[in-house]
Amino acid sequence: MTPIDREPFGRLPDGSVVERVTLRGGHGFTAAILPFGATLQSLMTPDRDGHCDDIVLGHDDFDGYLAQRKFFGATIGRYANRIAGGRFVLDGAAVALEANNGPNALHGGPQGFDRQLWRIVDVSDSPGPTLVLERASPHGEEGYPGNLETRVTYRVRSTTELSVTYEATTDRPTFLNLTNHSFFNLNGARSATQILDHRLTIPSERFLAVDATAIPLPEPPRPVEGTPFDFRSPVAIGSRIRMDDEQLRLGRGYDHNYCLASGTGLRLAARLEAPRSGRVMELFTDQPGLQFYSGNFLDGSTSGKGGLLYRQSDALCLEPHAWPDTPNRPDFPSARLDPGQIYRRTIVYRFSTL
């Protein structure tokens, strides 16, 4: 079996063909990527008995991705998460974005990177099965300044390890915040189970409390100690999600940014364990934050893989990225990108079993 497969997956309304590129590791481990949205469409991983299942939510055909915008597996940009009021000031100039999440701008706007067709520029099997996608985002797209050249590299790095690397340059000052928005269920995307029994570890001592529109409050990050947000040791997600806590009420569950330890290089940001399947996922990143979202707004309106209706807590997201609303918060780690700089961020998903 070849380490890389390419096949037509669908067509855009203008007739453009969208391929699916499958990268193969060992023991049945495969990652399938669509250039539309630079999307992780499928991720097959073995359970404790060696049986492989797809563990990311999404659609079996391309029409599902066109019909509804749910961010399943997509690359998010130009700015992942929310920007308050859909506006910010950069070097004294006011920048207006389109509000697409109540009063705020979310995930790059109505036509963010997840709704664009990326260009395949390289498919190779060394140093591991690799797909490289590129996209030029023009100055003013969705309101963001700067002509942006962006590259996403998916690579199967070992038998059961997938890395996603983002690189970008700009010709004028801008803000940039890219991530992958996969919804994970380690029992399988077709298992019809929830993730409330998954045990989660996030080695972070602080999180960002939010207001009713999910924008960080004007206060320093809060300690997790003594709150339902403490995942420094493995905790079943469902064990505290119904607690009487204002932040849980505002998010209808977990939908909060965890402040990761400062430093350079990859470091562990989360570990997820599924007792039923025995699958374990460790997530490493060089990003300053991790958004944990417990699938609170999956409401049964979306038909996904295998014809299942996705409902609340059928999956979770672990999104490494800059802190939300950073363009309006000089007290947060900066997400600014200037000409001459190279934006480079990496996510590594490493899989094993209990």
Catalytic residue numbers, as ranges: 181, 319
Instruction: Tell me which residue has tokens 């060992």.
Output: 26
Single out the residue of 289, 78, 319 nearest to residue 176, CA to CA. Answer: 78
Single out the residue of 236, 222, 258 nearest to residue 186, CA to CA. Answer: 236
The token pair that represents 21 in the structure block: 């590129």
Classify the phi-psi angles of 60: left when phi > 0, otherwise alpha if psi is within -120 to 50, otherwise beta.
alpha
Instruction: Tell me which residue has tokens 């509000």.
Output: 99
Size of the chain in residues: 354
Q: What residue type is 300 in one-letter code?
A: G
CA 267, CA 284: separation in Å to the nearest integer? Answer: 5
Single out the residue of 71, 68, 29 nearest to residue 46, CA to CA. Answer: 29
